[in-house]
Structure 1
Amino acid sequence: MADGLFSMAHPWASAFGILGNIISFLVFLAPTPTFLRVYRKKSTEGFSAVPYVVALFSCMLWIFYALVKTNSSPLLTINAFGCVVEGFYILLYVVYAPRAARHRALAFFLLLDVAAFALIVSVTVLLVPQPSRAKVLGSVCLAFSMAVFVAPLSVIFVVIKTKSAEYMPFSLSFFLTLSAVAWFFYGLFTKDIYVTLPNVGGFFFGVAQMTLYFCYRKPDTSALVLPTGIHDVSTETAAQQEVELPEGTHPAVAMLTVSTLPMLAELQKMEQEISSPTPRKGYIKAF
């Protein structure tokens, strides 16, 4: 498949590679409404840039792996697109984040996406023999994918604890599960264990998330507005100070554990709402 996305010599692998590209393309674009909101409001509204930095690092790793392997066009194309999208998200975050958050995001970006990636490239190129590079780099990608499996476990625990699936959108879980299936079969037909194994976990976590959604989803009732702040303000003034909670942020990774990172930002926001000792000023919508 070095000549393009589709190869008559490997029709099934090519078909699932193209399908994985299409689904992952849509998943990568999932945070677009959130960042349009950030652009309009000129504020990041308190969410973290960490999931996007990690997603960019994952895409960079898989691009390097695809280049070393030399015959993985589907991996190369979708993760190249992912690098562009995640890079744009990070740039927009840095522009509109408060100074402290901006500095943390830049520090994490330099540490992971610049220093750590440069170290991996240097070690692979300078110390690993050519015949073993794909195997060593694939093992690094696999280890990184397994390391972030803890994220969906955290999401599941929070959903069970709060008995609410508000911050675990079904549509995203569904498409991430489809993405895991597509990339699993791509890895299976190309005999690439480093692609196959992470997406086994991605599939089971995706199914678990969808199951929890149906168990803990709440019916959409009337848009009742409840005050949450304890402030010496009049009702009319408080009504004018309504604070809309930030929309869901869904960083996505095409070739990582595909149901892992897209939930991180939602989990962070959810935990912040649960553990915050002081109620937010303003109003929130009650569902």
Structure 2
Amino acid sequence: MKIYTKLLLLGLFAVSPLSYAASGLAFIHGTGNQTDALSDYWTRDFVDSVRQGATTPNNYVVINCNFDQYMWEDVAAGCLAEQLTRFIDDKAITDLTLITHSNGGNVVRWVLSNPTWDGRYPKIINAISSVIAIAPSSGGTPLADAVNQGNVFETSLGWLLGYGSNAVKQQQVSWMSYYNNTWLNGTAGRPTLGKPFEVIVGSDVDSAFWDSDSYCAGYQYQVALETTQNWLDDCSDGFLECQSQSAAGTVWFTDKQRTAGREPLSHQQSRRACFNLDTIIADHI
């Protein structure tokens, strides 16, 4: 009887989800050709703080891909698929949370919306439990239109957008409208993404030199985004209008609803440990 009981317990343990299931986090950057997104895009402070909310904090990956290209290209979505597949296989991940910023949300939506495009996509989609999309450019931005028209934005926004890359062309308002009506899911009137796509919306920019909050993530960026905000709706993070950020998925919250001191998150600040954003995400995951 004792031998039978021990064998039964061993059998139950062998098939228990705890014996093989693992959770993981992936940080997916926005527009840009990244080789060290941990340092250059997110910062280690942000990543290390967010991952403390995970069940297994050491199971994380920071993606480095060429998101200067169209979302479907091999150096963009293909690169993302390769790095996620390797992470899933190496860590036996079955519960994957993706944290995206800006154009990274479009690349992820491409994968979720087109499962037959690439043989690696189904495994990734099956492993994903949710997507936290910070300031996603789901509806594009008028600033991308301006850059491609070759006016002043091309130089003033070079640090944020790049100079006329394919990814910038992709984020023109009319182009994103086309993609949202054809190739991408998750927007009004389209099929769902099949996975929660929770959006954090940035609604304003503060750049008052006497306000210490304006210096989080770099005062010079706040000044630049305050300037470009003049060409956007009143509700914007200096790069994306609120309606663009909320075009796909479900809005989790708009910055001031949860941030410390009800501070807004500019497009630069929403990928940094500003106003408790990092701990808000950590607590959520």
TM-score range normalised by the length of the shorter chain: under 0.3
- Taking structure 1 as the reference length, the TM-score comes to 0.26
- Taking structure 2 as the reference length, the TM-score comes to 0.26
More helix by share: 1
More strand by share: 2
